[in-house]
Structure 1
């Protein structure tokens, strides 16, 4: 007989008190940060915390004038907050699935909207995709990350990783593209035949082209971004 008791629900959904790592998945959609120091996270991602933790909004020149000017130019909302202290911090972003990477000298480029949190040891920079300007604002900038340190990203539903091989370019929809090997430099291309067939306003006519050797992470969901003003 199936039980629907409140105690059973609590037992099945309560937090895991075993502290395994600095970043750990509390559920597949909630990141737990066992904080003892500092962590950078997406503004607004905090859903709960325990302990002595304070939050600071990213200051304009916190990461240097170069990044400040880039963010001012893009007008994008990937603002960061800094959590400082000791305790358990829970982060989430609109119910999206959370994936953790431990970058040990690796590099990763992430769509700015899909970056959830990273350790302060991770070096980062904003990368422009100038060819995308005027097509769609959401693909204009991404965040380039280099370890060592842990990074947490989010995806709508289960991510799929596509392997890029020399001579075998991979084409993706920009709205479904989450992250890729840090050394890859995608190009934006226009599929004229598809644009003619589907219609001038279709996003599918704009594609990202990855060439070389590496990987691309996509999600089975197309995020909608505002159109860049002309």
Structure 2
């Protein structure tokens, strides 16, 4: 058979995490270390690999822990804030190769070396077991879905694979300046940044995703770090009353 389709043959290599293509992750398992992946993200595998539901060590330590590392983050968490749902993960163990994907989203491999990175949980595809996380809140974030309710601060050392809808924009943030981004387009940011939620309209009502000339809600960032923004917003237009 002759077809350009057959040019997309599975690649080989010893890298633990590698991209088969921009929307498909290849994970090499050597029988020793395990990998955590979003449940249901496996699209193919070779070898002897087991997929099991993953329960956090300590009976849910990662699922329910609040961010208590700094007064700044204490201020960001609104009264009555409930922890974001933990990542719905499966354990991948054994020997072989696993291919992971989610809705053909673009994939990005990040190496953490004791840095702290805040990511919306729905954009995490896979990670090493050595990475820890805790839920963080943004004051007023209960008004919006996505980043406002499901932000996770990841820390430790290891590999993290993040998804974006399309090729992302990374905005540098420097001391004394502000960067603003649509709240529904933000994927993540450096955890050291100060973050505030604000309305993009002075009207009594705002529309999401360009339902009118206004944009709805945005996040402002200041400090030293970066913000990851994707060229897509999470929800269809809906009316959101300002409080």
Q: TM-score, normalised by structure 1?
A: 0.84
Alignment-derived partner of residue 76 in structure 2: none
The one of 166, 170, 176 equivalent to 2:179 is: 170
Sort the Cα spacing of 1:126 and 1:162 in 2 relative to 1 into closer, same or farther, 3 A.
same
Alignment-derived partner of residue 62 in structure 2: 67
Alignment-derived partner of residue 53 in structure 1: 49
Quote the Cα distance in structure 2 between the aligned partners of 1:178 and 1:220.
10
The answer as to 2:124 corresponding to 1:115 is: yes
Q: What secondary structure does 1:40 align onto?
A: strand
Paired residues of 1:130 and 1:140 also in contact (CA < 8 A):
no
Alignment-derived partner of residue 189 in structure 2: 180
| Alignment length (residue pairs) | 216
Matches within 5 A, 1:200-219: 200-202=206-208, 204-219=215-230
Alignment-derived partner of residue 97 in structure 1: 106
Alignment-derived partner of residue 136 in structure 1: 144
Q: What secondary structure does 1:175 align onto?
A: coil
Alignment-derived partner of residue 164 in structure 2: 155
Paired residues of 1:107 and 1:144 also in contact (CA < 8 A):
yes
Structure 1 residue 226, shift from structure 2 partner: 11
Quote the Cα distance in structure 1 between the aligned partners of 2:190 and 2:84.
25
Q: What secondary structure does 2:184 align onto?
A: helix
Sort the Cα spacing of 1:128 and 1:75 in 2 relative to 1 into closer, same or farther, 3 A.
closer
Paired residues of 1:129 and 1:141 also in contact (CA < 8 A):
no
- Over the aligned positions, Cα root-mean-square deviation in angstroms equals 2.5
Sort the Cα spacing of 1:224 and 1:202 in 2 relative to 1 into closer, same or farther, 3 A.
closer
The one of 199, 213, 219 equivalent to 1:190 is: 199
Quote the Cα distance in structure 2 between the aligned partners of 1:28 and 1:77.
26
Alignment-derived partner of residue 2 in structure 2: 5
Which is richer in helix?
A: 1
Q: TM-score, normalised by structure 2?
A: 0.80
